[in-house]
């Protein structure tokens, strides 16, 4: 029996996920939620650049529930806790890439609502993505080689220019002045999901920590940047360097860092090498990943860990399930000679 899948949102991440669901021999796409009246009633294939599917997009959650999917891939830009709860209460498993790892960044009231909904429906909620998400799980897997360790670092340093979401970048302060009042606090508020991921890794490693510290600095454009989806004037924010640190007795046990930049003219001119996971311990371990071949601006790599997790999440017990609680997730049926 194929698992019945509903796709929620058809942006860069959702479109990539839907295409892989359609290709997967164990999945059947049965419904799709799309934002925007112009998308309603259109075949999903038309919305995601694929062949006709026979599934038309809706903007009614009632239609998604009525399709009786086993799992919803929940991938909107802006999440709706009540919508997630309604899906869970209907007995539908939910895998989210919408700033969800533990739910902590949503607030305790939201976490309580989602936990109660999952228990009521006997459904599972899991947060995924690339970072935070997959690479936090990879860091945990790498630690299995260590007899002991003193620090685990997960670093993402990428040119994110292809991620054409002006709304996302402006919410992080990009395009505005680097000394705008409250910009660091606003950045932290918008990036709290990384704190969730740090907390999740600490739980998986059995670390009792004192606090999760935060630091951010900004890079500015050295000339006017026209990115197609937004313009950034000279001197305005076009990059950021952020770290969440799990602190134990004044030392960082875990560090989650990002360096993002838009455009090719920034000061400081931070450079990076993709995704680096580094463990200081016995032995020391360092792994470097890039995402060469992903032309979606990160949409594909963000989507795939969620798609591949579908069978494991559907088989898990009710509640919020974190990465370290799931079995091995692999790219099943993706080999192409």
pLDDT tens string 178-206: 999 999 999 999 899 999 999 999 999 99
Looking at residue 289, its pLDDT comes to 86
Query: Which residue segment(s) compose the domain that 116 sits in?
Result: 3-130+300-325
Q: Residues 100-136: pLDDT tens digits?
A: 999 999 999 999 999 999 999 999 999 999 999 999 9
Clarify whether residues 50 and 184 are in a common domain. Answer: no
Kindly tell me the burial class for residue 108, based on how many C-beta atoms sit within 10 Å of its own C-beta (0-12, 13-18, 19 or more): exposed
Clarify whether residues 33 and 162 are in a common domain. Answer: no
Looking at residue 312, its pLDDT comes to 98
- Burial code (b: 16+ CB inside 10 Å, e: under 16) for 220-240 equals bbeeebebeebebeeebbbbb
Choice among 3-7, 209-213, 291-295 with the minimum mean pLDDT? 291-295
Choice among 7-21, 250-264, 283-297 with the minimum mean pLDDT? 283-297
Looking at residue 172, its pLDDT comes to 92
Clarify whether residues 271 and 165 are in a common domain. Answer: yes
Clarify whether residues 157 and 252 are in a common domain. Answer: yes
Looking at residue 296, its pLDDT comes to 66
What is d(CA 330, CA 142) in angstroms, rounded to the nearest whole number? 15
DSSP state of 56: B
- Region 153-174: mean pLDDT is 90
Residue 309, pLDDT > 90, answer yes
Tell me if 61 is assigned to some domain. Answer: yes
Looking at residue 247, its pLDDT comes to 98
Looking at residue 204, its pLDDT comes to 96
Clarify whether residues 39 and 56 are in a common domain. Answer: yes
- The predicted model scores a pTM of 0.90
Helix (H, G, I), strand (E, B) or coil at 25: coil
């Amino acid at each position: 029996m194929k698992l019945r899948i509903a796709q929620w949102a058809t942006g860069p991440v959702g479109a990539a996920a839907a295409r892989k669901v359609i290709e997967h021999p164990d999945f059947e796409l049965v419904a799709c939620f799309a934002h925007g009246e112009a998308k309603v009633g259109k075949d999903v294939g038309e919305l995601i650049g694929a062949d006709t599917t026979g599934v038309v997009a809706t903007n009614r959650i009632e239609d998604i529930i009525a399709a009786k999917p086993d799992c919803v891939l929940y991938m909107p830009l802006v999440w709706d806790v009540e919508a997630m709860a309604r899906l869970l209460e209907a007995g539908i498993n939910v895998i989210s890439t919408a700033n969800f790892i533990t739910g902590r960044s949503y607030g305790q009231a939201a976490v309580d609502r989602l936990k109660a909904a999952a228990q009521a429906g006997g459904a599972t909620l899991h947060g995924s993505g690339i970072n935070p998400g997959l690479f936090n799980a990879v860091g945990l897997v790498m630690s299995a080689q260590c007899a002991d360790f003193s620090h685990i670092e997960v670093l993402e340093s990428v040119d994110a220019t292809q991620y054409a979401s002006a709304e996302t970048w402006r919410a992080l302060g990009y395009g505005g002045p680097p000394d705008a009042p409250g910009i660091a606090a606003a950045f932290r508020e918008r990036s709290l999901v990384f704190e969730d991921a740090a907390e999740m890794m600490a739980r998986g490693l059995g670390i009792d920590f004192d606090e999760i510290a935060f630091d951010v600095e900004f890079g500015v454009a050295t000339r006017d940047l026209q990115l197609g989806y937004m313009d950034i004037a000279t001197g305005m924010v076009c990059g950021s360097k952020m770290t969440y640190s799990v602190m134990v007795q004044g030392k960082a046990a875990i560090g989650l860092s990002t360096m993002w930049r838009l455009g090719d003219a920034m000061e400081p001119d931070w450079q990076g090498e993709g995704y680096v996971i580094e463990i200081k311990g016995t032995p020391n371990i360092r792994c470097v990943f890039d995402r060469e071949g992903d032309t979606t601006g990160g949409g594909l790599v963000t989507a795939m860990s969620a798609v591949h997790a579908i069978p494991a999440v559907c088989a898990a017990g009710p509640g919020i399930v974190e990465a370290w609680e799931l079995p091995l997730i692999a790219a099943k049926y993706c080999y192409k000679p």
